[in-house]
Structure 1
Amino acid sequence: MDAATSGGSVASPPNPPLPVRVRVPAPAETTEWTEEPMSPTGRMLADVGFYIVVLMGLGEPVNLPVFRAGIETELLTRFPRFGSIQVTDESKGGKPRWVQTAVNVDDHIIVPTLNPAAVASDADKTVEDYVSSLSMLPMDRRCPLWEFHFLDFPTSEATSTAVLRLDHSIGDAMSIITLLMASSRSTADPARLPAMPPPPRRTGAIYQRRPLSSPGYCLVWIWSYFVLMWNTLLDVVLIVAMILFSSDPRTIFTCEDDGRHNETRRKRFVHRTFSLDDVKFIKTVMNCTINDVLVGVTSAALSQYYFRKSGDIRTERICLRSFLPVNTRPISSRQTYVTKVETGNRVGSIVCPFYIALHDHPLEYVREAKMLMRRKKSSLEVMITQMAGELLVKYFGIKIGAFLFRRILTQTTILLSNVVGPAEQITLCGHPVAFIGISIYGQPQAVTVHYLTYGSSIKITLAVDDKQFPDCHKILDDFAESIKLIRNAAARKISNSSVHDCVTRNWIRW
């Protein structure tokens, strides 16, 4: 891919699939602007080199002047990181900080020149190839680390496509999606902001209010705290063991070692849309959470792919581990996004086991995930990992913190995340949004699974090693098949329960 520029040039990534025109902005002046120190988490993410990619299918052709005006009036004013660069000054201790700078929005808008024959032949693959090429294209760190790419041609899901790429140190997935919601309007009623889904309930035992005057309830309350401390201690020991020696068994999902850093391998982003109502139906039948269902679906889909791809006919389970980032903001913060969008990264993490297995009943995958996630909810692992990461960076330096963080990631098999989006269709910068998908690159895992709810749908986006998984669309087929099988099994369970209740009532009446 030859990267032509205006007033400069950048090296093009190896083996590029499509010609792209990239504009390299000139370094901006940074004097006489406000400064803010980078958080330890932000410094760590900047050092490991994580980038967020947000794919947005638009319902109409791109109107660049309108979208540009929306970026300038909405995104830049609501999110200070979009107008800041990272600066390290040895005279001030050598710690990086955010420095506000003048931003020319045109320097961050890229309209690539693609092969018309490739677009006409397969528009979806053209978009997929282009977005994948971004994982090998560096960003100019002398300027704010974000950019919009516009692909103005129709695909199977949208009239045009916008891709937002930004450095992960700017914010986490939750803050970026919240920013997009705060900067958009409801498509049904452009006069108001989009509706938010209701906040989740805290379901852990320590959150349940009980009358402590009752001896029985008091004992249960004390026991819940004992279990919390025990599980937290056990999780800390397991994480330390993971850093020192414990790793997952090698499978077809383990990132291949080709002599390069895994983070520099090209990622391919593929996505598919499913019905959120199906996921909610399974959730209701199994009396669990949406997260539990998605973890179970992931286990079922990867199990299907594994046994078909590997030809392994063993029936024993293979225990692997997934790395799950968790938003640590208060659950009410999403409801106040109208007046304030929180910047930065406020995430902890949990390391959750999942199993590659063949179950006779599809609901077993969800039932198993429910048990595993319930166990993780009775632990302070999320808070411990967040505090430990910040303390390591603060007292031992960014290199130590980033090394240990990368070490934990390399010892796990997949990265799994679920982000809650708007509860209805939105219009962003004057353009109706048909779908939203989110993912990251720079991570050492060969497979990353991101879910994002949007209106009545849920979008799954896979970021896979391009060389290792040339049949990555088959994995999406396995996800579709797994949701279908689990949903049908849940429907049969409801039907059988209804028949049983009817027979029971008739027997009693008789």
Structure 2
Amino acid sequence: MEVAATPPRRPRSVHVSAEMECADSSMAVEPEPMSPTGRILEEMGVCIVVLMGLGTPVNLPVFRAGIETELVTRFPRFRSVQVMDGSKDGKPGWVQTKVNVDDHIVVPVLDPAAVVFDPEKTVEDYVASLSTLPMDRRRPLWEFHFLDFPTSEATSTAVLRLHHSIGDAMSIMTLFMASSCSTADPARLPAMPPPPKRTGAIYQPQPRPALSSLGDYLAWAWSYFVLVWHTLVDIILLAATVLFLSDPRTLLTRGDNGESHRRKRFVHRSISLDDVKLIKTTMNCTLNDVLVGVTSAALSRYYFRKSGHTNTKSICLRSFVPVNIRPISSRQTYVTKVETGNRLSSLICPLHIALHNDPLDYVRKANRSMHRKKSSLEVMFTQVVGELLVKCFGVKIGAFIFHRLGTHTTIALSNVIGPAERITLCGHPIVFMATSIYGQPQALTMHYLNYGSTIKVIMAVDDAQFPDCHQILDDFAESVKLMKDAAVLSNLTIST
């Protein structure tokens, strides 16, 4: 049953001048420059969608006041519009403007019968409809949608839609943590996630050892030789991907070459963080390794069941993986500063579609692949070259190249660290959070979001290509269960 009403189509407006959008005559009209990554995302039309399950019915006046005093005040992008003129070099930028919060709040009128019959599908259909609607560029590019009816997971639902040029998932999540309080103790801010082991670039140079032996010196020198070799290989493969190298056509690959922005459906499922940590400890790897392995296992189950292929030879697809390039995670400093903008680079990682007798083999392969990527400067190369292309040849060239990377790979894969405990945002306890994007070329996008004791598996899928997308979520849950059972059995075998 489809949603009977969707948000009204607002007119797509052109970029306006800084003078028109300045909040008052005393405010400087020189825009703040937009980052090269932000310009590429703006050109591609990529938007972020954040679903938040609320533990209480929507109290609109309270939530509105929270948006105004917390989000708009703390985050300059929430009170800024994009402009094309007014800057000295004529490049796009941000200029602050007056914000009428009511212009950014949508309470749709939905079919009561659809809400009663299947509230989960009603929410899905409504959020899917947002992926087909343009945003009003005369205002700051964000909006809240409130669906005030219960689902199986929450009492009501709030949906934040914002343009990706405003910021990446890390900056948005940091904003939420800085603007919320702990649900367990409203007098304090929410507990921060544990500090990441990696505080700099994904590649960490090995310190020069004391020259106690020739072997130590040769091992140190060899690590740099491997770094150079892996980087050269990755750069060649990256260039080949832009020019001609694409993944084999499978039922997971987008059929229209990613040219049309078709409707996306957003679905999600919760898995236990403790189960993932158990697998991580058993395999002596990272959480990311486990999640990549689970993705490979789940998509393999779906692919071979759906295709009916009896040849179980491994199919090597590739995933486009955004990487946070902030030198120190802003989660550790959010009390004093909320970072803005997009600080992203990317990797292209292998994703194997195969059937293994041992479920933990998927994690082993993922661990080897990710370890290999950590001994390469591919992330730094992608960032530097991407910024140079935008500065020297314009944003259309940069967007074209990133679009080619998307159309020649099969899946986009991202992991976001959320609050370590339940939070209350704008006066409403948040039961769950699910973050995703639309506007990217791939037909299938996977996001993982840690929140409290759970991990949300979130998929953004081409609505026409994956009508059975909930079966993929079932495969994720089953893959985690099989891996957990295998890890427990492995631990018992070792202990005996």
* Correspondence for 1:148: 144
* Correspondence for 1:389: 386
Whole-angstrom CA distance in 2 between matches of 1:21 and 1:322? 33
Whole-angstrom CA distance in 2 between matches of 1:37 and 1:205? 29
**Superposition CA RMSD, Å:** 1.9
Shift of 1:17: 3.9
Give the direction of change, closer, same or farther, for the CA distance of 1:205–1:494 in structure 2 (3 Å limit): farther
Whole-angstrom CA distance in 2 between matches of 1:207 and 1:457? 33
Whole-angstrom CA distance in 1 between matches of 2:274 and 2:2? 39
Whole-angstrom CA distance in 2 between matches of 1:44 and 1:396? 12
Residue among 177, 185, 190 paired with 2:186:
190
Residue among 130, 148, 157 paired with 1:161:
157
Secondary structure of 1:20's aligned partner: coil
* Correspondence for 1:506: none
Secondary structure of 1:179's aligned partner: helix
* Correspondence for 1:363: 360
* Correspondence for 1:212: 210
Whole-angstrom CA distance in 2 between matches of 1:58 and 1:256? 37
Deviations 1:250-301 (A, max 9, x none): 000011229x823x10000000111000000000000000000000000000
Q: Does 1:85 align with 2:71?
A: no
Secondary structure of 1:458's aligned partner: strand
Secondary structure of 1:271's aligned partner: strand
The 8 Å contact of residues 320 and 409 in structure 2, kept in 1 or not, is answered as: yes
Q: Does 1:414 align with 2:400?
A: no
Give the direction of change, closer, same or farther, for the CA distance of 1:341–1:316 in structure 2 (3 Å limit): same
The 8 Å contact of residues 288 and 415 in structure 2, kept in 1 or not, is answered as: yes
Give the direction of change, closer, same or farther, for the CA distance of 1:120–1:16 in structure 2 (3 Å limit): closer
TM-score, length basis structure 2: 0.94
Q: Does 1:57 align with 2:53?
A: yes
The 8 Å contact of residues 55 and 429 in structure 2, kept in 1 or not, is answered as: yes
Q: Which amino acid aligns with 1:140?
A: D
Shift of 1:22: 4.2
* Correspondence for 1:228: 227
Shift of 1:189: 1.1
Whole-angstrom CA distance in 1 between matches of 2:122 and 2:312? 40
Whole-angstrom CA distance in 2 between matches of 1:266 and 1:400? 25
Between stretches 452-461 and 25-34, larger displacement belongs to 25-34
Q: Which amino acid aligns with 2:228?
A: M
Q: Which amino acid aligns with 1:70?
A: G
Residue among 171, 184, 189 paired with 1:175:
171
Q: Which amino acid aligns with 1:236?
A: I
The 8 Å contact of residues 48 and 163 in structure 2, kept in 1 or not, is answered as: yes
* Correspondence for 2:238: 239
Deviations 1:299-339 (A, max 9, x none): 00000000000001102110000000000112343200111
Q: Which amino acid aligns with 1:158?
A: A
* Correspondence for 1:435: 432
Whole-angstrom CA distance in 2 between matches of 1:44 and 1:324? 16
The 8 Å contact of residues 16 and 133 in structure 1, kept in 2 or not, is answered as: no
Shift of 1:198: 1.2
Deviations 1:89-137 (A, max 9, x none): 1884431110110000010011110111000111111001000000001
Q: Does 1:134 align with 2:130?
A: yes
Whole-angstrom CA distance in 2 between matches of 1:387 and 1:302? 33
Shift of 1:383: 1.2
Residue among 96, 105, 110 paired with 1:100:
96
Residue among 433, 439, 447 paired with 1:450:
447
Q: Which amino acid aligns with 2:469?
A: C
Question: Which consecutive residues of structure 2, in runs of 5 or more, have no partner in the other structure?
Answer: none
Residue among 33, 36, 39 paired with 1:40:
36
The 8 Å contact of residues 23 and 107 in structure 1, kept in 2 or not, is answered as: no
The 8 Å contact of residues 248 and 411 in structure 1, kept in 2 or not, is answered as: yes
Deviations 1:159-178 (A, max 9, x none): 00000000000001111111
After superposition, residues 481-492 of structure 1 pair within 5 angstroms as 481-492=478-489
Q: Does 1:269 align with 2:260?
A: no
Whole-angstrom CA distance in 2 between matches of 1:24 and 1:362? 48
After superposition, residues 1-80 of structure 1 pair within 5 angstroms as 17-22=3-8, 29-30=21-22, 32=25, 33-34=27-28, 35-80=31-76
Secondary structure of 1:321's aligned partner: strand
Residue identity (%): 70
Q: Which amino acid aligns with 2:266?
A: F
Deviations 1:146-191 (A, max 9, x none): 0000001100000000000000000011111111111100111111
Between stretches 179-188 and 219-228, larger displacement belongs to 219-228
Deviations 1:420-457 (A, max 9, x none): 00110100011000000000000111110000000100
After superposition, residues 250-399 of structure 1 pair within 5 angstroms as 250-257=249-256, 261-262=259-260, 264-399=261-396
Whole-angstrom CA distance in 2 between matches of 1:332 and 1:272? 27
Shift of 1:206: 4.3
Give the direction of change, closer, same or farther, for the CA distance of 1:175–1:385 in structure 2 (3 Å limit): same
Whole-angstrom CA distance in 1 between matches of 2:422 and 2:151? 19
Q: Which amino acid aligns with 1:18?
A: A
The 8 Å contact of residues 23 and 110 in structure 1, kept in 2 or not, is answered as: no
